[in-house]
A and B are shown apart, each in its own frame.
Chain A
Amino acid sequence: MFPTEFTPYLSFIGGVTLGLSAIWLMLFQGRIAGISGIIKTALFQKDGRAWRLMFLVGLVLGGAIGFHLTGFDFSYREGFPISLVIIGGVLVGLGTSMGSGCTSGHGVCGISRLSIRSIVATVVYLSVGILVASLTAKVLL
């Protein structure tokens, strides 16, 4: 793994920004900002597809704006095996679908609502994530 710099202030500010987006979506539309759910519903359900697609377009747009303003370029990982990206992607699809959420829906919105389901889900995916990332790093190094 390529070492990264510890960025507490920027990360906190970025986190608050994610929170502001979650509050916006609840205030205006009464919706949870759960990205996996938004993607899945936009793909497989006609009803309410438009606003979800617009949210996803916004994610890319916000990424482009962030990239141009900050110059943070996260586009390139040297030598990361594409097979892991594929297996991991399938697992994330299966898991978020079965567990009804990911880092945004369970992690940010769920914990903020003090949902027991979301708190338990977050503990589980963080623990497994730590285990698998540590193993992956060992294998790749």
Chain B
Amino acid sequence: MKNNMSALIAGTIFGFGLIVSGMSNPDKVMNFLNVFGHWDPSLLFVLGGAVICTFFGYRIVLKRNAPLLEREFFLPIKTALDKRLLTGAALFGAGWGMTGFCPGPAITGLAFGVVEPIIFLASMLCGYLIMNRLPHK
């Protein structure tokens, strides 16, 4: 119950940040990535603000033995720079550059009540289903 409440608050803060930062605007994302067009470097400031804040926040939080609501931290354990990571990142970059959407802003975009984020998310789900059916997960 507390976990659900905490996650709801975290998600709400995140969604608010996506709107304020402009990250939820696919035009802005594409203008950031299209460095040869009407280049809009704003998203560098989004990434900068987020990373500076999180870097120092994590340093403080991860000094604890455990988070407030769980017995342990759940940190990623993979370290290999394998083909899956590189291929996956490349495919993701292609989809991101083609649409201006990544998963978070697509979900937040549902708040606008238009069809584009819904189509994007449905297509993303198809991508997940295809991956689930491929061998060698």
Produce 1/0 per residue, B74-102, CB < 8 A to A: 11101111001111111111111111111
Residue of B nearest to A64 (CB): B111
Q: How far is the CB of B72 from chain A (nearest CB, A)?
A: 6
- Complex Cα distance, B47 from A18, in Å, reads 9
| Complex partner residue of A137 from B37, B107, B123, CB under 8 angstroms | B37
Q: B92 touching A102 by the CB < 8 A rule? A: yes
Contact partners of B131 in chain A: CB under 8 A: 93-94, 97-98
A sample of 17 more A-B contacts (CB under 8 A), given A11-B22, A88-B97, A90-B123, is A1-B38, A4-B25, A6-B40, A14-B18, A15-B17, A19-B51, A39-B124, A51-B3, A67-B112, A88-B96, A96-B88, A96-B103, A107-B47, A109-B54, A109-B58, A126-B93, A137-B34
**Chain A residues with a Cβ under 8 A of chain B:** 1-33, 35-36, 39-40, 43-44, 50-52, 54-67, 70, 72-77, 80, 82, 84-100, 102-104, 106-113, 115-117, 120-122, 124-134, 136-137
